[in-house]
Amino acid sequence: MKKKMLSISILLMVGGVLGNILFTRLGYFPNADFRIMNIPLAAGAHYFNLGLVLLTMTLIGLVLFPWFLEKKQFSKTVLALILIIWLPEAV
């Protein structure tokens, strides 16, 4: 059960990051002014609903991630957070 939940949390994080990269490249977030964890959330006076969904997926995966790790929860969670923030800019 613990391994299954760890896999689900990793899939949520990866889905959020890959969705962010894909939809940003496809132009779904034009003129994004407001970002959280490098995920575009707003431009001007309106929010991007897709950005909110991606942020929710990523945050749920990031919160569940340390609960289901066996060892080194803190260091692996910090590494995952750094990758979530850095990877969309690097690609």
Q: Per residue of the chain (91 residues), what is the pLDDT tens digit?
A: 889 999 999 999 999 999 999 999 999 999 999 999 999 999 988 999 999 999 999 999 999 999 988 889 899 999 999 999 998 888 8
Helix axes 49-64 and 73-90, enclosed angle (nearest 10): 150
Whole-number pLDDT of residue 51: 94
Whole-number pLDDT of residue 63: 93
d(CA 55, CA 65): 15
The first and second tokens of residue 60, run together, are: 């749920």
Whole-number pLDDT of residue 82: 92
| Contacts of 78 by beta carbon, 8 Å cutoff, 6+ apart | none
Yes or no: say if 60 and 12 are a contact pair by the CB < 8 Å rule: yes
Whole-number pLDDT of residue 10: 94
pTM score, whole prediction: 0.89
Gyration radius from the chain CA atoms:
14
